[in-house]
Amino acid sequence: MTPRLLLFLSLIGVTVSIIIGGGGGGGYNDHSDHHSHSDSSDSSDSHEHRPHPHRPRPPRPQPGRPPRERTNCPANWLLFTRPEGNWCAQVGRGLVTLQTTNKLQAFVATLGLDQAEAQCQALGATLTGLQSSLERQRLAEAARLLAVQYDIAEGAMWVGGRAKPECTSVSACPDSRNSFYWTDGHTQNGTDGFGWEVGNPMLEYHYLDHSRGISGCATLVFARSGGVVYFWRQFVHGLLDDIWCNGQARMYACGKLAT
């Protein structure tokens, strides 16, 4: 391209831009000067005097973002915050009957393991595991409040813990956190939820009735006082005890996923 042609073309270009720029009237005022620097689509004069509406944009779904934390539990259930997904737990009790022989007295019946599990299933739950000391203490406190309400000095509540099949004695499984597992399918095994009474689990073979096998089920001990219990030496509120699975307990603890 020759220099003369270049000059000619650039003159045309200047002419064209003057015509366009002057199309709106005051071609050389501040507005048209502004327009010449702005996007061609952004051509309204009035937008200079009106603030841009700041509409919040709806959040875009981001790939790999964790789902909303689930924190809903039924009324009067405890919420256990867990990294793997939150959990709801509740303490239930055996049926209350009134004994009227001497005085009006509420009596909380004991339940077998299967009855306790059936109560949980009716609530869309199962006998719960305990993933931490804090969960164990919170559940024991819920039981203590029920004990106050029904005037029960002390007792035990079924939880969803079972001896591992290979743990047929303490010497076979000396690590008390790993001799039992949680049956609810969600509670992490091997955690400090497995806080046992001193010397427990005993994984004790039943010395009278051999059909009972070893003490392979777990209960959480509670006391109205929140302290020492008297039915077994050295036992205190809020720790686990292994009992025979065909035993009885006054309370049980159910658990299910938060929604």
Ligand X SMILES: *[C@@H]1O[C@H](CO)[C@@H](O)[C@H](O)[C@H]1NC(C)=O
Q: Going along 38-151, which residue ranges are E strands?
A: 78-80, 87-93, 96-99, 105-108, 111-112, 126-127
Q: Does residue 188 belong to the site contacting ligand X (CB under 6 A)?
A: yes
Q: Return left, alpha or beta for 140; rule: phi > 0 is left, psi -120 to 50 is alpha, else beta.
A: alpha
Could you tell me how far CA 51 lies from the centroid of its own chain? 45
Nearest C-alpha neighbor of 250 from the set 68, 77, 115, 82: 115
Q: Which is nearer to ligand X, 110 or 188 (CB)?
A: 188
Residue 23 in contact with ligand X, rule: CB under 6 A? no
Does 178 contact ligand X by CB under 6 A? no
Among the listed ranges 7-15, 181-189, 226-234, 249-257, the one in contact with ligand X (CB under 6 A) is: 181-189
Show the site string, 125-164: x = touches ligand X by CB under 6 A, - = not.
----------------------------------------
SS3 assignment, position 216: coil
Please select the residue that binds ligand X; options are 150, 158, 180, 181, rule is CB under 6 A: 181
Residue 180 as a binder of ligand X (CB under 6 A): the answer is no
Tokens for 162? 């079972």
Q: Which listed residue (185, 207, 208, 209) binds ligand X by CB under 6 A?
A: 185
Nearer of residues 154 and 184 to ligand X, judged by Cβ: 184
Query: Min. distance of Cβ 179 from ligand X in angstroms?
Result: 12
| Sole residue written with tokens 């934390």 | 69
Residue 66 binds ligand X, judged by CB under 6 A: no
Considering only 87, 158, 180, 182, the residue that binds ligand X (CB under 6 A) is 182
Asked whether position 177 contacts ligand X by CB under 6 A, the answer is no
Residue 189 in the binding site for ligand X (CB under 6 A) = yes
CB of 239 to ligand X, least distance (A): 21
Q: Which residues pair with 106 in a beta bridge?
A: 98
How far apart, in Å, do the first and last CA atoms of the chain sit? 74
Beta strand 154-163 pairing with 251-257 = parallel
CA distances for 220 relative to 110, 138, 158, 175, 206, angstroms: 14, 11, 7, 19, 20
Binding interface with ligand X (CB under 6 A): 181-182, 185-189
